[in-house]
Amino acid sequence: MEKEAKIFVAGHRGMVGSAIVRALEKEGYHNLIKRTSKELDLRNQSQVADFFAEEQPEYVFLAAAKVGGIVANNTYRADFLYENLMIQTNVIHQAYVQKVKKLLFLGSSCIYPKLAPQPLQEDYLLTGTLEPTNEPYAIAKIAGIKMCEAYRSQYGCNFISAMPTNLYGINDNYHPQNSHVLPALIRRFHEAKIAGLSEVSIWGTGSPLREFLYADDLGEACVFLMQNYDEEQFINVGVGEDISIRDLAYLVREIVGYDGDVHFDTRKPDGTPRKLMDINKLHTLGWRHKILLREGIALAYEDFQKKEYH
């Protein structure tokens, strides 16, 4: 990827897109195309077609998506399926039409079957039933992977896909209902500390195991893959180790500085028991994450406090 290449980062204001922009700028890429959702509705076929025809990007990072945690995924099932399908279908197709040199599609670890063997290897895709609460989102992301594969096999497009594990970091979503577990914990413990509450209640038993990757590490991995990976099969991006929700909660509590109790509401669902990514493929290529969980949560909490969430 040439330093002066025209690069479109779809979703540049989100957590993942902004991390990709920071990684690109750090490496000296300056010819970046950015559009807010108000300027360009990626769900709108004609708008996307006009944009690609006019701008003629050479490289595309497709980080735009409708995302959320268990509650959001389960509540807005139609929205998650429709909007993600529309965004990726429009962008991937126009990348083909306008002869984009290379496209990177970003998925999610939720594409894997609920009870797939651990750690999750790329070959486990479509070998079992999905987790019901986020099935619509997972199906949309699987369709995106398959689109990249199909356009590659039929048209020879260099479209690749990366599947990151659970993410957190700068520009995360801290919405009380629609956020993922780690940002939700940061917000909950922070608000409990400010309000002087004696207890914070957390969904489930605390036993599920989750893996967490700092968003800026993912941003650097995406740039690395754009430069070094050209295979048909998608590739996992993660850290290769996980932590229980219980231990995560106590770690966040400590970093935020909340000294009350933690209550696990066992009447609420746990979600998938474990989601650890097998990242041997990525390690073999020569990329590893740099930011450890404690440091990353501290950076995320610092970012949270700068925002107007509280």
Mean pLDDT, all residues of the chain = 94
Reported residue count of the chain is 310
Q: In which band, very low, low, confident or very high, does the pLDDT at 120 lie, cut at 50, 70 and 90?
A: very high
**294 carries a ligand binding annotation:** no
Q: In which band, very low, low, confident or very high, does the pLDDT at 67 lie, cut at 50, 70 and 90?
A: confident
Sheet containing 209-210: order of strands: 243-244, 209-210, 274-275
pLDDT at 175 over 90: no
Question: Domains of the chain: which residue ranges?
Answer: 7-172+212-238+279-292
Tokens for 282? 């990525």
Q: Mean pLDDT throughout 283-308?
A: 95
pLDDT at 285 over 90: yes
**Tokens 């590739």 — which residue?**
235
pLDDT at 302 over 80: yes
Radius of gyration of the chain, Cα coordinates, nearest whole angstrom: 19
Write down the pLDDT at residue 309: 56
Write down the pLDDT at residue 308: 64
- Given the residues 137, 174, 214, 301, the one annotated as active site: 137
**16 carries a ligand binding annotation:** yes
Domain 7-172+212-238+279-292 has CATH 3.40.50.720: yes
Cβ pair 86, 43 in contact under 8 A: yes
Per DSSP, what are the bridge partners of residue 265? Answer: 203
Tokens for 141? 């992301």
Per residue in 100-114, pLDDT tens? Answer: 999 999 999 989 998
Cβ pair 130, 75 in contact under 8 A: no
Is residue 137 annotated as part of the catalytic site, yes or no?
A: yes
pLDDT at 310 over 70: no
**262 carries a ligand binding annotation:** no
Q: Is 291 helix (H, G, I), strand (E, B) or coil?
A: coil
Per residue in 131-148, pLDDT tens? Answer: 888 899 999 999 999 999
Q: Is 160 helix (H, G, I), strand (E, B) or coil?
A: strand
Upstream peptide bond of 269 is cis (omega within 30 degrees of 0): no
Write down the pLDDT at residue 75: 85
**152 carries a ligand binding annotation:** no
Q: Label residue 176 exposed, middle or buried (CB < 10 Å: 0-12, 13-18, 19+).
A: exposed
Tokens for 150? 């199909």
Q: Mean pLDDT throughout 287-305?
A: 97
Per residue in 218-247, pLDDT tens? Answer: 999 999 999 999 999 999 999 999 999 999
pLDDT at 273 over 90: no
pLDDT at 48 over 60: yes
Q: In which band, very low, low, confident or very high, does the pLDDT at 276 lie, cut at 50, 70 and 90?
A: very high
Cβ pair 110, 67 in contact under 8 A: no
**13 carries a ligand binding annotation:** yes
**175 carries a ligand binding annotation:** no
Write down the pLDDT at residue 307: 84
Question: From CA 251, how far away is CA 292, in angstroms rounded?
Answer: 13
pLDDT at 177 over 80: no
pLDDT at 30 over 80: yes
Sheet containing 235-237: order of strands: 32-33, 7-10, 59-62, 102-106, 159-164, 235-237
Write down the pLDDT at residue 36: 95
pLDDT at 272 over 80: no
Q: Is 97 helix (H, G, I), strand (E, B) or coil?
A: helix
**99 carries a ligand binding annotation:** no
Q: Mean pLDDT throughout 8-17?
A: 96
